[in-house]
Amino acid sequence: MPLREHLLEIRKRLFLSSIGIVVGAVVGWFLYDPVFHALQQPLLDAAAQNNTLTTTNFGGVATAIDMKFKVSLFIGILVSTPWWMYQLWAFVNPGLTSKERRYAFAFLGSGVPLFLGGAWLAWWVLPHAVKVLTDFVPADSANFIDAQLYLSFVMRLVLAFGIAFLLPVVMVALNFLGVVRARTWAHGWRWAVLIAFAFSAVMTPTPDALTMIWVALPICGLYAVALVVCTVHDRRIDRRVEALAP
């Protein structure tokens, strides 16, 4: 495919992905109130346990409407996950063989639950992080947290974990397309573990090592599973090549 057609295809897929996210954001606009209360609940629970007044503070005139747009967009990205991931697959699809296209459906089917699983893990980590961080507020004190900073932190956390959990899908896809061999992933396992723990340390702002370990272990486990899949695939390809050799 010529470069111009590639660029046109990218534009098309980005446009369709944006349309799906916008439609999801419209749905998110009507779900804003329950989602906002769910995002704020870890703060309220921590305040009740610590006997402190902790709540989000909308410091500007337009802060509330700005946050409603941001949270709606965040919901739109989550609910439209199958759609924008399909657009990513559709961009690669013209360059694939018929057999590789069948693999792509499997990648799409695994990528969506992995992304949502990573988002769920971030949601599980959030109350623990909020609890630890608000423990430093003195008793009978008030802690007014800027709504934009808090909600932006929560949304970035959820999206970052969702994207991190797509790592095995990318690994297997590159292997099945013949771009990266399994031995390359195997040689880099130490770096993968280091990056997983560094990512967990940065994205879980709590001083306890246990939470960091519980977050890093699933990422390392997914890397290992993807490595096994890539290894099995490479061995099957090698046997096929040997059988065809004169």
Low-confidence ranges of the chain (pLDDT < 70): 1-3, 6, 50, 52, 54, 92-104, 136-141, 204-208, 245-246
Q: What is the pLDDT of residue 26?
A: 93
Q: What is the pLDDT of residue 19?
A: 92
User: What type of residue is 210?
Assistant: L
Q: What is the pLDDT of residue 100?
A: 58
Q: How does DSSP classify residue 138?
A: P
CA distance 126 to 122: 6
Residue 35 near residue 72, CB atoms below 8 Å = no
Q: What is the pLDDT of residue 107?
A: 72
Q: What is the pLDDT of residue 101?
A: 62
Residue with tokens 């946050």: 67
CA distance 17 to 81: 9
What number of residues does the chain have? 246
* Strand duo 142-146 + 53-57: pairing: parallel
Q: What is the pLDDT of residues 62-88, one digit of tens each?
A: 788 888 888 899 889 888 888 888 787
**pTM for this predicted structure:** 0.71
User: What type of residue is 53?
Assistant: L
Q: What is the pLDDT of residue 208?
A: 62
Q: What is the pLDDT of residue 25?
A: 92
Ranges of each domain in the chain: 1-96+126-154
